[in-house]
Homo-oligomer: A and B are copies of this chain.
């Protein structure tokens, strides 16, 4: 039992270390020996857990997908309506891109041609979720009548990908203030007039803070 716990801890340390080095040096450049050294384990231990760098990249993607699942899982917030759920999730995702190297590396690995097959494309999973939320807003009647749910999803997915890409150079792009300004601009176009005043562009988590 203790041995199993230790194995889980080693595996997680390797995933974290791999994410850090994929993020810093890129998938192609990051070396397995640097990854194991940074995780504080031997090369042998790394190879016990992961057969190849691609397998390690797959595990990073899987861990990132779980985190994305928690961000989009929401739950309990249905009372706020679909648009507020989306605003809140976008804030959580950008916080994740700032602070969580596993989430960031997982999204990036999907973009990298060298790591193809490492895991599913998280951008595509996020996009599918955003489309479903706008379709829900449409059914609720909280999406403005003359707005297509698909076009709204396209704009939000593109902007979030842009915040992520530009944030690598200048962290200001990932700040809550930036995303709040984006929603402040977009919501009067997207939301049905009757719900607009209830929506919190800075996210409902910001009210608690």
Contact = CB atoms under 8 A, between A and B. Distances in A.
A77 interface: no
Nearest to A169: B111
Interface of A: 24-26, 28-29, 110-111, 113, 121, 123, 146-148, 150-152, 154-155, 157-166, 168-169, 173, 178, 181-182, 184-186, 188-189
A25 B127 CA distance: 27
Interface of A is mostly: helix
A164 B168 CA distance: 14
Contacts of A158: 158-159, 162-163, 166, 173, 182
A195 B46 CA distance: 62
Contact of A155 (B26, B157, B159, B188): B159
Given A24-B113, A111-B165, A121-B169, 8 more contacts: A146-B188, A151-B184, A152-B185, A155-B182, A157-B166, A159-B159, A162-B162, A186-B189
Contacts of A164: 162, 165
A84 to B, nearest CB: 19
A185 B121 contact: no
A166 B178 CA distance: 20
Contacts of A185: 147-148, 151-152, 154-155, 189
Contact of A162 (B113, B148, B159): B159
A110 B169 contact: yes
A120 to B, nearest CB: 12
Nearest 8 CB-CB pairings of A with B: A162-B162, A161-B162, A158-B162, A189-B189, A165-B165, A158-B159, A151-B185, A151-B181
